[in-house]
Amino acid sequence: MNEKAILAVSFGTSHPDTREVTIDAIEARIKKEFPEFPFYSAWTSKRIIKKLLERDGIKIDTVTEACERMLADGVKEVVVQPTHILNGYEYDLLVKEVRHFKHRFEKLVFSKPLISGQDDIERIIELFAKEFSYLTEREALVLMGHGTEHFANTAYAALDYAFKDKGLKNVFVGCVEGYPDIDCVRKLLKEYGPSKVFVTPLLIVAGDHAKNDMAGEEEDSWKNLLGSDGYDVECVVRGLGEYEAVRDLFAEHLKAAMNG
C-alpha cells in the first residue's frame, strides 16, 4: 500500500440527488487524477452524518474517524483536500481536527478550498461567463452564496466586484447568511433594471438552501422576493460541484499540494 493518502473533506448533504452529482463527482475526479494514492473521505457536519445513518443506513466518516481509519491502514502521509468554497469556520474546524493527529502521521498537508485567491476568482468568473453566455444585457444573473461571520466572507464582495471589473455588470453575488445579502442584491438589481433575472447557487451542493431559500415557494425565498420586485425569475438549481471546471479546479489545488 502507498503510505501517502488523500483525504477529501466535505461539509455534506442530506440530499442524495445533489450528492451524486456534486460531492461524489468531485471525489471521482480526484480518484481519476491520482489513482495511485489511497483515497479516503469525510464530512464535517455531524448533524448530516447522523441523519444519513438514521434515515438511509449510510455511514459517513467524521474527520476523526477517517484519520483513525488511515492510521489503521498504515498511512503515514496525508494530503487533505477540502471541498469547501472558502477558508471559513468549517475549514478552520477541519484543520484543527486533523491537527490532533499531527504527532501520529509523519506529514500532514492541507490543500486549498475552491476560492482561495484572485486566480480562483477569475476561474469562477470564466465559468459563469461561459455557462450563462446566452444572457442579454436586459437579463441579470444572481449567484446565491451561503455567507459566514468569518472574515473570509469578504470573498463574496470581492467576487461581485470582480464580475463588474471584467465587464459583467449584470452579475450579482449575494449571501443567505452574510454580506452582501438579498436586500443588497435587490437594491443593485433595481439600479440595473433587468427584465429577467436568473438565480443559481454559489454552493457546492444544491441542497436545502438552493431548493428552499433560493427556489422555494415560501414568501421569503429569493425567487419570490425577486418576483415581487416585478422581475421574471428563473432558478437554475445546480450546485458548483456539477461543473467540470469546478472539479478541475479542486484537482489543480490538490496537485499543487501534492507537489508542494
Kindly list the catalytic residues: 146
Asked if 193 and 213 touch (Cβ cutoff 8 Å), the reply is no
SS (H, E, C) 17-41: HHHHHCHHHHHHHHHHHCCCCCEEE
Residue with cell 473533506: 9
The secondary structure of the chain as a DSSP string is: --SEEEEEEE---S-HHHHHHTHHHHHHHHHHH-TTS-EEEEES-HHHHHHHHHHH------HHHHHHHHHHTT--EEEEEE--SSSSHHHHHHHHHHHTTTTTSSEEEE---S--SHHHHHHHHHHHHHHTTT--TTEEEEEEE---SSGGGHHHHHHHHHHHHTT-TTEEEEESSSSS-HHHHHHHHHHH--SEEEEEE-SSS-SHIIIIIIT-SSTTSHHHHHHHTT-EEEE----GGGSHHHHHHHHHHHHHHHH-
- Cα 144 from Cα 150, distance rounded (Å): 17
